[in-house]
């Protein structure tokens, strides 16, 4: 059910920006066309796989990977801005 809500929200947002705001540019259309088939098939598959894994393992993995990801992004941002 959560996947349906997320998909509906995405479609609503895309439609709103396309028909009401008129702010989408061609690159956004191209990205959306490339991404939606991947999300359409892989999101339910990922939800199925994660439903079979112990929730404590997932939480521990996120608690380790989130700070590592934040650190690597900050280091990359520091190099691109010339703060070294």
Give the model confidence (pLDDT) of 40-83 as tens digits: 788 788 888 888 989 899 899 999 999 999 998 888 776 666 65
φ, ψ for residue 54, nearest 5 deg:
-60, 130
What's this model's pTM, rounded to 2 decimal places? 0.46
pLDDT at position 84 is: 55
pLDDT at position 68 is: 93
The full DSSP string for the chain is: -HHHHHHHHHHHHHHHIIIII----HHHHHHHHHHHHHHHHHHHHHHHHHHTS-HHHHHHHHHHHHHHHHHHHHHHHHHHTT--
pLDDT at position 20 is: 82
More confident site: 15 or 81: 15
């Amino acid at each position: 059910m959560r996947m349906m809500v997320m998909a509906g929200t995405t479609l609503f947002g895309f439609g709103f920006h396309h028909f009401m705001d008129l702010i989408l540019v061609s690159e956004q259309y191209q990205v959306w066309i490339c991404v939606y088939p991947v999300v359409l098939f892989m999101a339910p598959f990922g939800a199925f796989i994660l439903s079979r894994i112990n929730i404590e393992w997932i939480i521990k993995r996120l608690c380790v990977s989130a700070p590592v990801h934040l650190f690597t992004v900050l280091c990359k941002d520091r190099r691109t801005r010339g703060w070294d």
